[in-house]
Amino acid sequence: MGPKKRGCRLGEEKTYAEAITLIEPEKQPTERLSQYSVVTRAMEHHALMNRYGSLKKKLIDAGLQFGGRVLLIGSPGTDFEAFVQYLSQEVPLKLVRFRMDILLNEVKRGAEILRVGFEFARRNSPAAMYVEKLESVSPASSERSAVLQDELARTGWDGEEVLVIASTTRPQDVDTDVLSTFDRVYVIEGTTLEDRVRLFEQTLKGHENIDPTAVAELTDGWGYSSTKQLAVSLFMTETEEGGQIPRDKIEEMIEKSCVMPLNNPRYLESVIGRTGGTTKHKIETLRTEYPDDFLDQLYLMAAGEDYSATQRAIEVLNDGMPLSNEDREVLSRYPFLLNGTPEDRLTRLLRAKKSNDRLQRIMGR
Q: Do residues 58 and 165 share a domain?
A: yes
205, 154: one domain? no
Q: Round the CA-based radius of gyration of the chain to a whole number and report it.
A: 25
Same domain (yes/no): 217, 140 = no
Based on the fold, state whether residues 169 and 204 are members of the same structural domain. Answer: no
- Are both 40 and 168 inside the same structural domain? yes
Do both 106 and 22 map to the same domain? yes
Please give the helix or strand (H or E) that residue 145 lies within, else none: helix 143-154
Per-residue pLDDT tens digits for 308-365 = 999 999 988 888 777 888 888 898 888 888 877 888 888 889 988 888 888 887 776 5
- Candidates 91, 90, 86, 84; CA nearest to 129 is 84
143 and 46 co-located in one domain: yes
Tell whether 123 and 244 lie within a shared domain.
Answer: no
CATH number of the domain to which 73 belongs: 3.40.50.300
pLDDT of residue 365: 57
Identify the pLDDT of residue 122. Answer: 96
Print pLDDT tens along the chain (365 aa): 456 554 444 344 555 788 999 999 999 888 889 999 999 999 999 999 999 999 999 999 999 999 999 999 999 999 999 999 999 999 999 999 999 988 888 777 889 999 999 999 999 999 999 999 999 999 988 999 999 999 999 999 998 999 999 999 999 999 999 999 999 999 998 899 999 999 999 999 888 899 999 999 999 989 999 999 999 999 998 877 678 899 999 999 999 999 999 887 777 877 887 777 654 444 444 344 445 667 888 889 998 899 999 999 998 888 877 788 888 889 888 888 887 788 888 888 998 888 888 888 777 65
Same domain for 259 and 340?
no
Instruction: Please give the model's pTM, rounded to 2 decimal places.
Output: 0.72
Q: Is residue 74 part of a domain?
A: yes
pLDDT in tens, 162-184: 999 999 999 999 999 999 999 99
**In-domain check, residue 28:** yes
The pLDDT value recorded for residue 360 is 80
The answer as to whether 307 is a domain residue is yes
Q: Does any domain span residue 79?
A: yes
Is 109 in the same domain as 152? yes
pLDDT at 325: 84
Among residues 136, 156, 188, the one where a domain terminates is 188
Phi, psi values for residue 210, rounded to 5°: -105, 120
Task: Write out the residue range of the structural domain in which residue 297 sits.
Answer: 291-362
The answer as to whether 194 is a domain residue is no
Please give the tally of structural domains in the chain: 3
Degrees to nearest 5, angle at CA 259 with 225 and 131: 20
Domain boundary among 167, 188, 209: 188
Residues 18 and 112 in one domain: yes
Beta strands in 155-224 (DSSP E): 162-168, 184-188
pLDDT at 290: 41
Q: Kind of pairing, strands 20-23 and 94-98?
A: antiparallel
Q: Do 38 and 179 lie in a common domain?
A: yes
Domain boundary at 162, 188, 214, which? Answer: 188
Tell the burial category of 162 from Cβ atoms under 10 Å away from its Cβ (0-12, 13-18, 19+): buried
If you write DSSP's letter for every residue of 214-278 in order, what string do you get?
HHHHHTTT--HHHHHHHHHHHHHS---SSSPPPHHHHHHHHHHTT---TTSHHHHHHHHHHHHT-
Given this model, what pLDDT does residue 289 score?
43
